């Protein structure tokens, strides 16, 4: 085990897979000369040269689609978006092409592309730079969506994503890039896509939280533990395919669940998890499933409003007390 920053864990995964498989290349805005807008690809240009580490113009639709075509034609592109807020410009290529080409051609063409970059908000970046897109993409058939919270998960799942023969969205957070954690340096360390993890055991309530919200859930759980309420925290790590069994087993134990999700509330990840629990664990519920999400409002710039907007530990604590009847 080595202690790595989140950004380093991703880089190690990319680096290892690039050494292992010559078809893998990295492309995106500022990934090469600038070493990555958030330094995730630092040093890769020096190591692999201009053929495999490629700076693009600000042409998201173009280079995302180029990634799709290259993947169809035998390569394994890793396409970086400076943020998934900019991937909206490339949504046609992701939603209409990457996810559908295999199906439309009756299975003749595969599309093993990885789209990666930071997702959701990162402080006061205003309305157009603060949206969490994992739920939205998870709605579309044909995509795997990963949104990790810790360096070790990032490494193991990034390697799985690169090796996966389907289009995979791999989401990170600007605010987690500096986060340090123990990362496996085992040869071929892989975390399978679709496997969540119980990151904290507890008997009183299940918290399902992924990405940046996982860390908020941890803070809330620490506070609640002082009052004798023990939260079980599940980090699904992969939004889709979702590790439903893990969540259900936990809810069957605790009889209550709060889903923490950094998306807007309507038809999001929290709504889906809530529905599944209702369908599969109805008789185990001792309280309604609640969710902590963003409000149904755009991201404000002002710090005071932004802090009000972004879910924090307090909202989770309130929700937990509500379902534990405290």
Partner 1 sequence: MAKKAKSDISFAPTGMQSPEKGGVQKGVDLPPATKKKHKSLGLSNDQVADMYAQMYLQRRFEERAMQQYQKGKFGGFLHLYIGQEAVSTGTVFALQNDDDIITAYRDHGWGLCRGITPKSGMAELFGKATGCSKGKGGSMHFANVKEHFWGGYGIVGGHIPIASGLAFANKYQANGRISTCFFGDGAVDQGALHETLNLAQLWKLPAIFVVENNGYSMGTAAKRHTVAEIVDRAKGYGMKSAVINGMDVFSVYEKMKEIADDVREHSEPWFVEIRTYRYRGHSMSDPQKYRTKEELEEYQSIDPIERLKAYILKEGIRSEADLKAVEDGIEQEVLDAVTFADESPFPEDSELYEDMFVEENPYFHV
Partner 2 sequence: MAIKIEMPKLSDTMEEGVIAKWNVKEGDTVSAGDIIAEVETDKATMDVEVFDGGTILKIVPGEGDAVPLGGLIAIIGDAGEDISSLLDSDGGATSDPSASTESSKEVEQTETTVSATQLPTAANDSTSSDGRIKASPLAKKIAEEKGIDLQSVAGSGPEGRIVKKDVENASNSTATSLTRPGAPASTPVSTPSFSSLESREVKVSQMRKVIAKRLSESKFSNPHFYETIDIDMKAAVEARTLLKEKLDVKVSFNDIVVKASAIALSRHQAINSSWMGDVIVEHGDVHIAVAVAIDEGLMTPVIRHVDKKGLLDISSETRELAGLARDRKLTPEQMEGSTFTISNLGMFGIEEFTAIINPPNACILAVGAIRDVPVIENGAVVPGKRMKVTLSSDHRIVDGAKAAEFLNTLRTLIENPLSMLL
What are the catalytic residues? 60, 129
Using an 8 Å Cβ cutoff, are 6 and 178 in contact?
A: yes
Q: Is 200 in the site for partner 2 (CB under 8 A)?
A: no
Q: Which is nearer to partner 1, 44 or 157 (CB)?
A: 44
d(CA 39, CA 80): 12
Tell me the two tokens of residue 269.
């990840």
Residue ranges of alpha helices (H) inside the chain are 6-20, 44-52, 60-72, 91, 101-104, 134-138, 151-163, 212-226, 244-254, 269-280, 303-309, 313-323
Q: Are strands 205-209 and 197-200 parallel, antiparallel or unpaired?
A: unpaired
Of 68-76, 158-166, 183-191, 306-314, which segment contacts partner 1 by CB under 8 A?
Answer: 306-314
**Nearest residue to 39 (alpha-carbon basis) of 172, 159, 153, 166:** 172
142 touches, from partner 2, partner 1, none (C-beta below 5 to 8 Å by class): none
CB nearer partner 2, residue 45 or residue 64: 45
Tell me if 128 contacts partner 1 by CB under 8 A.
yes
Q: Which of 25, 38, 133, 269 binds partner 2 (CB under 8 A)?
A: 38
Contacts of partner 1 in 86-105 (CB under 8 A): 86, 88-89
Q: Does 292 bind partner 2 (CB under 8 A)?
A: yes
Sign of CA dihedral 282, 284, 287, 293: negative
The yes or no reply on residue 29 touching partner 1 (CB under 8 A) is yes
The reply to whether omega before 241 is within 30° of 0 (cis) is yes
Residues that bind partner 1 (CB under 8 A): 29-30, 33-34, 37, 49-51, 54-62, 85-86, 88-89, 123-129, 264-266, 295-298, 300-306, 308-309
What is the binding site for partner 2 (CB under 8 A)? 38-39, 122-123, 174-175, 177-178, 219, 255, 282-288, 290, 292, 295, 303-304, 307-308, 310-315, 318-319, 322-323, 325
């Amino acid at each position: 085990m080595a202690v790595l920053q989140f950004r380093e864990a991703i880089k190690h995964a990319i680096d290892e897979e690039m050494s292992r498989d010559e078809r893998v290349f990295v492309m995106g805005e500022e990934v090469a000369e600038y070493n990555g807008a958030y330094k995730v690809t630092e040093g890769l240009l020096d190591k692999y040269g201009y053929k495999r580490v490629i700076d693009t113009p600000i042409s998201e639709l173009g280079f995302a689609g180029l990634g799709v075509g290259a993947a169809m034609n035998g390569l394994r592109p890793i396409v970086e978006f400076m943020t998934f807020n900019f991937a909206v410009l490339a949504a046609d290529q992701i939603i209409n092409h990457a996810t559908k080409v295999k199906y439309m051609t009756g299975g003749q063409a595969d599309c093993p592309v990885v789209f990666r970059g930071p997702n959701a908000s990162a402080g006061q970046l205003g309305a157009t730079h603060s949206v969490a897109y994992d739920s939205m993409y998870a709605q579309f058939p044909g995509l795997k969506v990963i949104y990790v919270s810790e360096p070790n998960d990032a490494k193991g799942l990034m390697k799985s994503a690169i090796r996966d023969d389907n289009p995979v969205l791999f989401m990170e957070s600007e605010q987690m890039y500096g986060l340090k954690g123990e990362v496996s340096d085992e040869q071929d360390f892989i975390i399978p896509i679709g496997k969540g993890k119980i990151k904290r055991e507890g008997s009183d309530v299940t918290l399902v939280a992924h990405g940046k919200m996982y860390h908020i859930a941890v803070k809330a759980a620490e506070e609640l533990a002082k009052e004798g309420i023990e939260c079980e925290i599940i980090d699904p790590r992969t939004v889709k395919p979702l590790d439903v069994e893990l969540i259900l087993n936990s809810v069957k134990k605790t009889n209550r669940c709060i889903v923490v999700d950094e998306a807007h509330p309507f038809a999001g990840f929290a709504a889906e998890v809530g529905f599944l629990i209702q369908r599969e664990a109805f008789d185990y519920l001792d309280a309604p499933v609640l969710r902590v999400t963003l409000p149904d409002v755009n991201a404000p710039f002002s710090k005071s409003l932004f802090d009000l907007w972004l879910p924090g530990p307090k909202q989770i604590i309130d929700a937990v007390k509500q379902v534990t009847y405290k």
